[in-house]
Amino acid sequence: MKLGLLVNAGRLGAGTVLSEILDWATNSSIEVFIFSDGALPASGGTAVAEAELASRADFVLALGGDGTILRAARAVGNSQKPILGINTGGLGFLAELSNRNVSTALDVLKKGGYQLENRMVLQAEVKTTGLKFFALNDVVVEKGEVRRLLRLSLSANGEYICSYASDGLVIATPTGSTAYSLSLGGPIINPRMALITALPISPHSLASRPLIFEPTDVLEITLSQPEKEALVTVDGQLSQKITSTDRLSVRRAPHPIRLVRFNKQSFYQVLRSKLHWGVLPGEG
């Protein structure tokens, strides 16, 4: 077994967890490849480029918060190498492990005592340029630096659906239903499901509501105003400007992302413990 580590060196707890993993790997004769976005807080392993992690490792461990797991998902791409999220600070909603008892979990991983959970991914393509992005959470079309409302048109499978006058539009996966989508009043969706949601951001209409599409649907977003620009943001990390001459296509990607699970908590238990969902006042 070979491990790839994607480390958010800016997290305060990253050094302690990294040292524990490296000590465990040495004692277990496990080869480790590491990419860090800063100076490594511990020594050991083989430093590699981020793009090499998936080809060199059997599992990719993301040390950081949810943003690090989203970054690991892009690094893994269509290789379908499993990702194990280890939270080293913050909420860590997507992470399977906290920064405690990591060695014990790695022993279980080595023995094969885990399950793989497939998560749907979105593929966004600027049709006029062929530029493609992949998103585990969401693809967001927003006004960026423009202060006025965006006027957007949404189509599905070539059929016009509706137009929006809003601050933007969020196209989300079930995994992304607990991210930006949640703050817009979108539904909480079990991440094992396959579907696509579209949610306007601050729409200037009482009739604008979230829409749910089949996973086979192909959505297309265009700007309705000539000579206007918008910003496409992918998982809150990558961005690309588009204009009224561009067509943005969003569909289900041909590959999923596979997350390592140890069956510690169900999705609904995580909702209650980390987002305090469904908890009555005084229950804690």
Q: Give the residue numbers annotated as catalytic, written as ranges.
A: 66
Choose among 58, 48, 49: nearest CA to 79.
Answer: 58
CA angle 69, 87, 75 (to 5 degrees): 20
Give dist(CA 254, CA 249) in Å, integer.
14
Element of type H or E holding 273: helix 267-275
HEC secondary structure over 116-178: EEEECCEEEEECCCCEEEEECCEEEEECCCCCCCEEEEEEECCEEEEEEEECEEEEECCHHHH
For residue 216, which amino acid is it? T
Answer for the pair 41, 9: CB distance below 8 angstroms, yes or no: yes
For residue 264, with 0-12 CB atoms within 10 Å meaning exposed, 13-18 middle and 19 or more buried, which class applies?
exposed
